[in-house]
């Protein structure tokens, strides 16, 4: 039993050192990485993040360029004719469900928070269409609050490939990462891993020969 605990302690220590090396290399490779969604207010970021489900950030940015000019506050979304809002966001896909979600979310913002986006995880995840991932984006990017690590498809894929987790569920992946990454790095680490996933460690054809993490990556599950 004692030996087993010692082996576990050594394994945990080695994994944390592995994570620290990854953090340092990502910082060097992507020093200025930030959220790809365009916004000027917390509400705009919340809306953009909801629209980004099953849609590229580039497409969302194209849609929100005019959307944010037309809808300037929570009341604008809440009171808009549903059919009109649907057409305004149609290019993002699943526009009927997204329009209903945006209206329900903004109505709750008006009812409970005076139209303002709360700075609290528990409050955010009570909003329609807002899960922990979206809440982490809003808190980290709009407010600079390190509430957790955003786990999107890129972070999920890379975390497993790099040997930082064996889980596939986003919440379990996040918990593994939170135990390995210092809190002051949570926001930047998520952005950098997402950038790396888009540019180098892609889903189907990762560019391993160009990867700044190549020497330490175990390439778990790499096709």
Supply the residues annotated as catalytic: 133, 152
Kindly write down the DSSP assignment for every residue of the chain, as one continuous string. Answer: -HHHHHHHHHHHHHHHHHHHHHHHHHHHH-TT----S--SSHHHHHHHHHHTTTS-HHHHHHHHHHHHHH--SHHHHHHS-HHHHHHHHGGGSSHHHHHHHHHHHHHHHHHHHTTPPPS-HHHHTTSTT--HHHHHHIIIIIS---------HHHHHHHHHTTS----SHHHHHHHHHHHS-GGGHHHHHHHHHHHHHHTS-SSS--GGG-TTTTT---TT--
């Amino acid at each position: 039993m004692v030996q087993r605990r010692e082996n576990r302690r050594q394994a945990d220590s080695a994994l944390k050192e592995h994570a620290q090396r990854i953090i340092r290399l990502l910082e060097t490779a992507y020093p200025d990485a930030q959220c790809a969604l365009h916004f000027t207010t917390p509400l705009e970021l919340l809306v953009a993040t909801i629209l980004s489900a099953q849609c590229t950030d580039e497409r969302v940015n194209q849609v929100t360029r005019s959307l944010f000019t037309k809808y300037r506050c929570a009341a604008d979304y809440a009171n808009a004719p549903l059919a009109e809002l649907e057409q305004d966001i149609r290019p993002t896909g699943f526009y009927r469900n997204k329009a209903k979600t945006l209206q329900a979310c903004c109505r709750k913002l008006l009812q409970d928070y005076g139209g303002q986006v709360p700075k609290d995880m528990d409050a955010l995840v009570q909003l329609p269409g807002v899960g922990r991932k979206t809440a982490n984006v809003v808190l980290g990017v709009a407010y600079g609050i390190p509430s957790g690590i955003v786990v999107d498809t890129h972070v999920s894929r890379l975390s497993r490939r790099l040997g930082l987790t064996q889980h596939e569920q986003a919440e379990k992946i996040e918990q593994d990462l939170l135990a390995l990454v210092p809190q002051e790095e949570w926001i930047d680490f998520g952005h950098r891993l997402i950038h790396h996933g888009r540019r180098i460690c892609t889903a189907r054809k990762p560019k391993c020969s160009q990867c700044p993490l190549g020497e330490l990556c175990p390439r778990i599950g790499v096709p």
